[in-house]
Structure 1
Amino acid sequence: MAVGYQDSLATILAATGHNPETTGFSETNLRYNYAVDSKRARDISAAAAVRLAAQTAWVPQESDQNPEPIMVAPPADWDADTAAAILGTVAELVTGAAARPMAFGAYLTAPDNVAPAAAPEKHSDPTAFTDAEVLQVTQQSEFINDLTALMVPDSSIALTRYGFTLPLRRDLLQALSLNERRAMTRYSDAAEATSQRLAGSRAALSELRSSVDLIPPGNVYTRTSPSSPLLIVARNGLPLPVETTIDFSGPEGARLNVPGALRIPARGSVTVQMTADLPETSRSTDLKLYLASTSGQPISQPVDIAVRTTRFAVNGWLAAAALVLAGLLVVIAVRGARGSPPSERKRKPAQPRSKRSDRRTT
């Protein structure tokens, strides 16, 4: 069943006050800028509409038929003058026995014979949010859920993950407020406020998500052997620890051996050591590393690194020994060439003895 109320009466009541509203269930051909009428005139029209609805639903006491109940649905931001005009009319009707009060619970009570609810008449709702606005709220809500699931509770931290993301959820609820959008004079300002709030919420989410990322020591790794480890730093700027994994994308045949689960402390970082099995057909392999949630959803921007394996890594020690031996042979050959006398060199003739020496000998 459906418990309804008079849409025409609700439309006239909504058009009162300083900021008259346009309801989404009003007749399209009867809509206009209600602000062109004075506030006093709109309040008098609303009071007259309440009196007319009571007279229409009134049934003589001799009849067995119960009168149809009427619900007076005032606008959310009506002022004291409008309330005095409408409630004054209701008081006159009750005092003059033209109507009697009824509890809201009794109004919602199902009658004895309930007829099937008819499909409501569809009208274009000028206060409805656009598809782009709904899409933004949906995406940001999913991002908030992913951010909440990424963090893990810590007994030493009083803040909870749901308490941390609560302001972001409140921003979405405030962005979906209809209080200002129902008034034609305030619709543009309300739509602009919604756009600014969603933009601010998106910027805050982007900043929070970018605070959990990878920081490589360098974009190019040169390995001396296939078993040489690769080092990368995982940073967490959130006030709670996060649990994540390191995932990658690369050419076919490349495999990265990383820890299964990685816990990054709050406002801290950890250094991760990993090894890579890369194709041997290429000396350089390009990889994209990123942090992912436990369900595999990427949560950080990818980091590009190039892993290079030198040819010296295969027989490094043998090649070094061969170079040292070759250097020694060269040194020995050079020294031998300097120490040996040349074959073309002739001996000098012996010097003759002087006559003085012969005489002394004699």
Structure 2
Amino acid sequence: MSGLRLRCARLLRLAAVIGIIAGLSMVLTLPATPRAKAGEPSSTPFVQIRIDRVTPEMVTTTSEPVVTVSGIVINIGDRPVRDVMVRLEHAPALTASDELRTSLDGGTDQYEAVADFLTVSPELQRGQQAGFTLSAPLRSSTKPSLDVEKPGIYPLLVNVNGTPDYGAPARLDNGRFLLPVVGVPPDKAAESEALDAVPPDTQKPVWMTMLWPLADRPRLAPGVPGGSIPVRLVDDELASSFASGGRLDVLLSAAELATSREVDPDGTVTRALCLAVDPDLLVTANAMSAGYVVSDSADPAGQLPGTPTHPGTGQAAAATWLNRLRTLAHRTCVAPLPYAQADLDALQRVNNPELRDAATVSPNDIIDRILEINSTRGVALLPDGPLTNRAVDLLSADGAMVAVAAAESMPEDTSGDEQISADITPRRVSPQVALAPFDPAIGAALSAAGSNPVVPTYLDSSLNVRIMHDSSTARRQDALGAILWRSLAPAAAPRTQILVPPATWNLQGDDAQLILTALATTIHSGLAVPRPLPALVADAAARTDPPRPPGRYPNVRGRFSDDITAVISSQMSRLGKLTAAMTTDHRTGLTGAQYTAPLREDMLRALSQSVPPDTRNGLAQQRTSVVGNTINDLFGAVTIVNPGGSYTLATEHSPLPLALHNGLSVPIRVKLQVDAPPGMTVTDLGVIELPPGYLPLRVPVEVNFTQRVAVDVTLKTPDGMPLGAPVRLSVHSNAYGKVLFAITLTAAAFLVFLAGRRLWHRFRGQPDRADLDRDPPPARRPKALGAGAAEDPPRPARLPTSARPPETRPVAARRVDEEHRV
């Protein structure tokens, strides 16, 4: 028993130990409170820093020698944060354009502190915020400073430290931005000795060209053919965009001010600036100025003609904005974007020459007609997508062309000390197309500026940064640094720069003015020389180096699927054949091409790069679906009127009556196809021009039978595309054909024979068989009787036939009496 008790005690102790170990393991496996080491960023967001102001935005020789940064720290976590502190840090000047992006994210080893931490708040509760202001001298020999000794682009960082509840002190967030230093100002108040100004090096100025975009995403409702008045828009956002303070008004106002005679008397900024205009925006604004309606439905499927609408409110604003643009266009360069900012790579996969010309050739004519100018020709602007092999093939079909597109990103040269930026040297990419590239890092910095930052699809993934994390002020500083970097880097080659913002740039008023001020500062300080876009195009087109095609599509993000391009290709084929059959309405002057032009433009709008990359395929599918339904309706609007009964043909040559209906706004050429049964011959009417409305027809036919048959009638275009729905007619013919004709001839010949025989017998005085039932005529008496001639015995008196009793008169006698009466 003692042994048994001992074993039980041991088992109990073992069970207790196992329970303790299990409890500890459960505690260890529970989610732990995030803890971050001091000096390292936390993976869990607790606070966020927002930089609201940097003074000065651009440092020049006339600026104050002190930089001031203001902002706020916001508690965005799920717990209080204690001892919130901030500190300003700096890094050396950038030496490669790729650092315009890479210095804004990733590691912080290159940054050095300017001063000690400044406590912002002893404690921040959830949702609370606290402001801060940090100042530091540009340079100093006796106290901490930013160590700015010469012009350049300097990265700055505001470090935020704190202690989250249940955590340890850690670096919780940081805000980074670029500080462009065009010239180092003097510091007369230096404690040891006065510091003189350091001007920029202007011995190697940069040839500068900047595109200023005026574009918007497609606003015209899909599936509405030409001639529809008033035009229909999907929304009324353009009304506020054209109005004072709107996005397009801000862009236009900034360009007007920068190129005015008061601000730019010598026209240097005007020569460097070129308006990149989307012809689709001009078409929309021009239509709005004549009055328009807005669809009540936000769903593209509910925006077809006939759906509810309400009047638009931007007619006056659109007319005013368009007139201001006409005035500006007469004193500066204007170049077209692809129509509706269509993706040329996807357009080449559609493989439709008519659509290609509408995207790359017609925009010049549209701009010239609406703005009453001569726009720059021979150039294709690609501000939002890469130049691919397919895009080059599409442009090559248009003849000599210069493409302004992003250069291919080049990897860092790890074998040397210097980094290699993107190659922006102009080159030829095909015998017909030359490339004038711009730096993708600089383009990405410009794309991030404004209230709606975007990451362009041409940007390599290695240059992506957290643009949504940075404030609009920080992103504006990055754009200013990108504009000035090449001018302030004398070693950067080549000494050319093309500034290409995104087409749908969304800038605030201050952003637009500061960016154009940076452009003017670069030129007026001698760091850059204006290079008009026509001169750039001419120089690139004159290159004779061997063609070097572009690389592959660098990013699948935003690529239109092959299903979308296949649908557009099919719809364009049908629409082209229908348009070829249309003619001009002489009453209104509307042509077939004008009538279907909005539907072709809808195909380009479906391929627009103005919408976010992640939503492109979905929006394209919706638009093509609506346009496809409209094309089906156009084909169904030209049809044969179904009589709903049967036709009876009196003779074998009776025509077949039909009625055609044209529900289009223009005449159309059609052909009738009649599937006649054997024994019926139909005369081909050839090509019929069918005007809008109804047209009665009489189709000549020849029938050789007497019966009821079904006749199928189809309406087609001259090249064989079916129109409307086929109609089956029930036709009854009374014609007997050749047999009836032979019987009729035989009867007529027999009647002629009988009549001729009677006349012959009467002429000869011979009785005819038809007169056998009549009494013979009385014999003729001689005029004088000779001697011995015996007289005929007297004949009994004959009563008149009418005096005889009816029952005693023979039938033959009654017939003779009737004939005599007649």
Alignment of 1:199-214 (within 5 A): 199-214=625-640
Q: Secondary structure at the match of 2:724?
A: coil
Residue aligning to 2:502: 75
User: Of residues 624, 634, 639 in structure 2, which corresponds to 1:198?
Assistant: 624
Shift of 1:42: 2.2
Residue aligning to 1:13: 446
Call closer, same or farther: CA 1:75–1:284 in 2, change over 3 Å: same
Q: Which runs of 5+ in 2 are unaligned?
A: 1-427, 429-434, 744-822
For 2:575 and 2:444, locate their aligned partners in 1 and report how far apart those are by CA, in whole Å.
37
| AA matched with 2:516 | L
Residue deviations 1:281-331, cap 9 Å, x none?
A: xx776554211122333233322346677998886798xxxxxxxxxxxxx
For 1:23 and 1:277, locate their aligned partners in 2 and report how far apart those are by CA, in whole Å.
71
For 1:37 and 1:251, locate their aligned partners in 2 and report how far apart those are by CA, in whole Å.
78
For 2:680 and 2:455, locate their aligned partners in 1 and report how far apart those are by CA, in whole Å.
62
User: Of residues 261, 277, 281 in structure 1, which corresponds to 2:687?
Assistant: 261
Does the CA contact (< 8 Å) of 1:224 and 1:312 recur in 2? no
Call closer, same or farther: CA 1:234–1:83 in 2, change over 3 Å: same
Residue aligning to 2:558: 127
Call closer, same or farther: CA 1:219–1:145 in 2, change over 3 Å: farther
Does the CA contact (< 8 Å) of 2:635 and 2:723 recur in 1? yes
Residue aligning to 2:516: 87
Does the CA contact (< 8 Å) of 1:241 and 1:264 recur in 2? yes
Residue aligning to 2:665: 239
Residue aligning to 2:122: none
For 2:666 and 2:525, locate their aligned partners in 1 and report how far apart those are by CA, in whole Å.
66
For 2:497 and 2:460, locate their aligned partners in 1 and report how far apart those are by CA, in whole Å.
20
TM-score, structure 2 as length reference:
0.33
For 1:96 and 1:272, locate their aligned partners in 2 and report how far apart those are by CA, in whole Å.
83
| AA matched with 1:26 | L
| AA matched with 2:688 | L
Residue aligning to 2:546: 116
Does the CA contact (< 8 Å) of 2:663 and 2:693 recur in 1? yes
Does the CA contact (< 8 Å) of 1:225 and 1:313 recur in 2? no
Residue aligning to 1:160: 591
Call closer, same or farther: CA 1:253–1:136 in 2, change over 3 Å: farther
Decide which moves more: 44-53 or 308-317: 308-317
For 1:12 and 1:27, locate their aligned partners in 2 and report how far apart those are by CA, in whole Å.
13
Q: Does 2:572 correspond to 1:141?
A: yes
Higher helix share: 1
| AA matched with 1:10 | G
For 1:203 and 1:12, locate their aligned partners in 2 and report how far apart those are by CA, in whole Å.
42
Residue aligning to 2:109: none
| AA matched with 1:124 | N
Shift of 1:69: 0.4
Shift of 1:27: 0.9
Q: Secondary structure at the match of 1:304?
A: strand
For 2:518 and 2:667, locate their aligned partners in 1 and report how far apart those are by CA, in whole Å.
61
Does the CA contact (< 8 Å) of 1:292 and 1:299 recur in 2? yes
For 2:609 and 2:620, locate their aligned partners in 1 and report how far apart those are by CA, in whole Å.
10
Does the CA contact (< 8 Å) of 1:214 and 1:233 recur in 2? yes
Residue deviations 1:16-46, cap 9 Å, x none?
A: 2222233232114544774343322322222
Call closer, same or farther: CA 1:83–1:114 in 2, change over 3 Å: farther
Residue aligning to 1:296: 720
Q: Secondary structure at the match of 1:174?
A: helix
Call closer, same or farther: CA 1:206–1:54 in 2, change over 3 Å: same
Residue aligning to 1:217: 643
Shift of 1:11: 2.4
Shift of 1:70: 1.0
Does the CA contact (< 8 Å) of 2:703 and 2:733 recur in 1? no
Shift of 1:270: 1.4
For 1:276 and 1:12, locate their aligned partners in 2 and report how far apart those are by CA, in whole Å.
78
Call closer, same or farther: CA 1:245–1:36 in 2, change over 3 Å: same
Q: Secondary structure at the match of 1:4?
A: strand
Q: Which runs of 5+ in 1 are unaligned?
A: 61-65, 319-362
| AA matched with 1:304 | R
TM-score, structure 1 as length reference:
0.67
For 1:251 and 1:30, locate their aligned partners in 2 and report how far apart those are by CA, in whole Å.
73
For 1:96 and 1:115, locate their aligned partners in 2 and report how far apart those are by CA, in whole Å.
34
Shift of 1:226: 6.0
Call closer, same or farther: CA 1:50–1:213 in 2, change over 3 Å: same
Residue aligning to 1:100: 529
Shift of 1:245: 0.9
Residue aligning to 2:311: none
User: Of residues 161, 172, 181 in structure 1, which corresponds to 2:603?
Assistant: 172
For 1:252 and 1:25, locate their aligned partners in 2 and report how far apart those are by CA, in whole Å.
66
Shift of 1:263: 3.1
Residue aligning to 1:3: 436
Does the CA contact (< 8 Å) of 2:653 and 2:700 recur in 1? no
Q: Secondary structure at the match of 1:294?
A: coil
| AA matched with 2:672 | I
Identity %: 23
Let me know the Cα RMSD of the aligned residues: 3.9
| AA matched with 1:47 | L
Residue deviations 1:187-244, cap 9 Å, x none?
A: 42x6554444333333333222212111242476676876554433222222333321
Q: Secondary structure at the match of 1:263?
A: strand
Call closer, same or farther: CA 1:12–1:206 in 2, change over 3 Å: same
Q: Does 2:452 correspond to 1:25?
A: no
| AA matched with 2:728 | D
Decide which moves more: 17-26 or 222-231: 222-231
Does the CA contact (< 8 Å) of 2:447 and 2:454 recur in 1? yes
Shift of 1:267: 1.3
Q: Secondary structure at the match of 1:262?
A: strand
For 1:48 and 1:154, locate their aligned partners in 2 and report how far apart those are by CA, in whole Å.
57
Call closer, same or farther: CA 1:38–1:200 in 2, change over 3 Å: same
Residue deviations 1:98-125, cap 9 Å, x none?
A: 3333333333343897533432222135
Call closer, same or farther: CA 1:113–1:150 in 2, change over 3 Å: closer
| AA matched with 1:141 | M
Higher strand share: 2
Q: Secondary structure at the match of 1:45?
A: helix
Residue aligning to 1:335: none
Call closer, same or farther: CA 1:94–1:59 in 2, change over 3 Å: farther
For 1:191 and 1:236, locate their aligned partners in 2 and report how far apart those are by CA, in whole Å.
35
Alignment of 1:335-354 (within 5 A): none
